[in-house]
Amino acid sequence: MEKIRSENTPALVLDSGDLFFSPQANLNPEFALKKALLFGRAYRRMGAAAINVGDMDLLLGLDFLKNEFSQGLPLISANLIDPSSKRPIFRPYVIREIAGVRIAFLGLLSPDLNPQVASAIKTAQAEVLIEDPVKIVQETLPRLQGRTDILVLLSDLGVIRDQMLARSVRGIHFILGGHEGRPLQMGNRVGQTFIFQSSSKGMYLGKLRITLENPTSPFTDGGRANQIQEQINHLDRGLQALQKMKEGSARPDNRNNDQMIQDIQRRKEKLLEELKQAQQNQNRGNRFIFSLEPLEKALPQDEEVQSWLTEAGIDRD
C-alpha cells in the first residue's frame, strides 16, 4: 500500500470477512488472540476503509470485535443484529469518497453459521441475530440512493449466495467475497453485478481498478479482451496439435479429426467477434479490471511488522 500510494494512485484497502479467524482459536486461544491483535494493528496501519465481519471472526467474541472497532478499525455488518435493540451491532455500511467518486461498502455474513461458531456464541452467552441478507439489502438500498456513485458488497456469504443475492436485488455493482477462499480471477456476472473472490490466508491481493465516467451507466470488464485473447491462444494450440496428429496419421479416415478441427475453428471465429467488441469497449464508458496478485514473492520482509511479531512473541506460523 505504501508503494501504491507513493505513485499517487487513489486506493482503498478492504477486507471481505474472516480476517481474524485462526485454526488455533480453540486449541490455543491466547495465540489466536495475539495474531488477531496484529491483524487489527496492520489494517489500521494501512488505513483500511472497510472490513466486513465474517462468521469465523465471531470465534474471538463480540467483546474483542467491539474493542477493535473502538480502536478505529472500520468494521461493518448490515445483518449482524443485537437481539435486544434489533439494530446492527456495527455500522451496516460506510461511504468513502476517493478521486471525487462516492463508493458505498455494505457488509454481510451468512445466516448459516459454522457449527464451531454457533457453539462458541452459545458458550459465551452472547446472542446475536443474523438477518436474511436479501431482506437487509432491499431495506438498505433506498437509504443510499443519491448518496453514492458505486455500491460494493463485502460478502462473507459464499459464491452461491452471492449469485442468488445479485439475482434478487438490483443496484449492486461489485461483490467482493472470500468466504470459501477460492480465487476467482475471471469472476462471475449476474445481470449488471460482477462477483469476485480473492484467496484465503492472504496469499493473493485482489485488485479492482475502476474507471467511472457516468454514474448512471453499467460497467464493462476492461480486462475482457485479454481474457478472450487467452482463450483464442488456447484454441490455436489445440488446432496445431490436431493438425500435427492429422499430418502424422497413416489412417485414410480422419473424419473425427476433421470434425474437431472444424468445431474449434467455429469457436475461434465466435471468440474473434467477441474480441473485436471487447476491444472497442475496453477504453470507453464505465469499466474495471480485476486481477489477483500473489503476495508471498512480491513483498519484502518489513522491519516494522517484524518488530510487531517479535514483541508479540510470534516467531512463525
- Please give the full DSSP string across 192-239, using - where no structure is assigned: TEEEEE--GGG-EEEEEEEE-S-TTSPPEETTHHHHHHHHHHHHHHHH
> Are both 139 and 218 inside the same structural domain?
yes
> Are both 235 and 268 inside the same structural domain?
yes
Mean of pLDDT values over 121-150: 87
> Are both 262 and 164 inside the same structural domain?
no
User: Is the confidence at residue 252, as pLDDT, over 60?
Assistant: no
> Are both 150 and 31 inside the same structural domain?
yes
In 232-257, which positions are buried (b, 16+ CB within 10 angstroms) versus exposed (e)? eeeeeeeeeebeeeeeeeeeeeeeee
* More confident: 282 or 135: 135
> Are both 97 and 126 inside the same structural domain?
yes
> Are both 82 and 121 inside the same structural domain?
yes
User: What is the pLDDT, as a whole number, of residue 15?
Assistant: 95
Q: How far is CA 151 from CA 95, 105, 187, 194, in A?
A: 9, 6, 17, 11
User: What is the pLDDT, as a whole number, of residue 305?
Assistant: 84
User: Is the confidence at residue 161, as pLDDT, over 70?
Assistant: yes
| Residue 317 maps to a domain | no
> Are both 297 and 209 inside the same structural domain?
yes
What residue has cell string 489466536?
32
> Are both 42 and 181 inside the same structural domain?
yes
Residues of the domain holding 173: 2-222+283-312
What CATH number is attached to the domain comprising 118?
A: 3.60.21.10
Mean of pLDDT values over 166-180: 92
| Residue 146 maps to a domain | yes
CA atoms within a 13 Å half-sphere pointing along the CA-CB vector of 121: 18
Stated pTM of the model:
0.83
Share of the chain above pLDDT 90, in %: 40
pLDDT bracket for residue 280 (50, 70, 90): confident
- Integer Rg of the chain from CA: 23
> Are both 131 and 267 inside the same structural domain?
no
User: What is the pLDDT, as a whole number, of residue 83?
Assistant: 87
Residue-averaged pLDDT of the chain:
86
State whether residue 72 is helix, strand or coil. Answer: coil
Mean of pLDDT values over 244-263: 73
Distance of alpha carbon 236 from alpha carbon 221, whole angstroms: 24
Indicate the number of domains in the chain. Answer: 2
| Residue 128 maps to a domain | yes
> Are both 168 and 230 inside the same structural domain?
no
Q: Are 80 and 136 in contact (CB under 8 A)?
A: no
* More confident: 76 or 280: 76
Closest CA to 58 of 86, 87, 27, 90: 90
> Are both 239 and 181 inside the same structural domain?
no
> Are both 184 and 57 inside the same structural domain?
yes
**Sign of torsion, CA 51 52 55 60?**
positive
| Residue 85 maps to a domain | yes
- Please name every residue paired with 152 in a beta bridge, in sequence order, or none if there are none: 105, 174
- Please name every residue paired with 197 in a beta bridge, in sequence order, or none if there are none: 177, 184
